[in-house]
Structure 1
């Protein structure tokens, strides 16, 4: 459990650690459990290591608390990817801390827009609430996403 008196350390991560690989497996497994197979857009670790993606992990002391990534769509547009809180840290503000970190990084890079794709169904509702709290609104599909009954896209100017 995260001690709220101990600040999270959010660090750029090369995805070589056992803990982060295990959390990404949890993320991918859950996406496949809650999404139609043809609409799982979660990236495996190898794709998260590509030059257009920067990946961060969040730590509470020696415990992995969560992760998130920023994918460059264009010079002024970024996409949130692989937002995941470790099970022991759920509902403790970890996802919000990671989101705020990614938004700050996007601003520092000069992005003017930050977007994401997620599912519409109940397992994704907590994520919707977090993104809406921080100014994200529903939008048309962007980049390579297509309109469908399962996915929804959100965006915000930053």
Structure 2
């Protein structure tokens, strides 16, 4: 499956439905106060870079980077269509987002994901990319239903030397 990842700057019904499914998938995993996925309209707000990949005009993967503070961003809304999971789309999106962040001089990317079994594949993906567990960051507070992870990025000059 060949895909292209592109920045999303406006809403489409298909992408809105895709991200609503993301919320529906997570609803049974934790109470509302322990679910931190952003609604679609917030993913289009300033300070957030939303990306999606499409196959035959349908979204198959999403991911976003949200500003935490200077040089620190948070990974948000990582989702792969369940019908195409296991084909490397999540890894491709994660690699794309980390390259995007590093190329803009971001020094750290962190994330919050669930601590329940439903999120084991996500935590394994992040760990395989070098993310390590950490404490809450930004406005998060300790929550036994959350796992916090972080990754220090190479400087932009090192990142461009690797890809250039």
Instruction: Give the TM bin, normalised by the shorter chain.
Output: over 0.9
- Give, in angstroms, the shift of residue 110 of structure 1: 0.6
Q: What is the rounded CA distance, in whole Å, between the counterparts of 2:17 and 2:81 in structure 1?
A: 10
Q: What is the rounded CA distance, in whole Å, between the counterparts of 2:65 and 2:50 in structure 1?
A: 7
Contact 1:113 1:156 in 2 (8 A): yes
Residue 16 (structure 1) aligns with: 11
Cα 1:62–1:118 change in 2 (3 A) is same
Residue 88 (structure 2) aligns with: 93
Give the count of matched residue pairs.
Answer: 153
TM-score by length of 1: 0.93
Instruction: Please give the secondary structure, in 2, of the residue aligned with 1:98.
Output: helix
Structure 2: give runs of 5+ residues left out of the alignment.
154-164
Residue 60 (structure 2) aligns with: 65
Q: What is the rounded CA distance, in whole Å, between the counterparts of 2:100 and 2:42 in structure 1?
A: 20
Q: What is the rounded CA distance, in whole Å, between the counterparts of 2:77 and 2:10 in structure 1?
A: 12
Contact 1:119 1:152 in 2 (8 A): yes
Residue 132 (structure 1) aligns with: 127
Q: What value does the CA root-mean-square deviation take over the aligned residues?
A: 1.1
Deviations 1:88-120 (A, max 9, x none): 211111100000010001101111100000111
- Give, in angstroms, the shift of residue 75 of structure 1: 2.0
- Give, in angstroms, the shift of residue 19 of structure 1: 1.4
Contact 1:15 1:45 in 2 (8 A): no
- Give, in angstroms, the shift of residue 60 of structure 1: 2.6
Structure 1: give runs of 5+ residues left out of the alignment.
none
Deviations 1:36-76 (A, max 9, x none): 21111000011111101010011234232110100011221
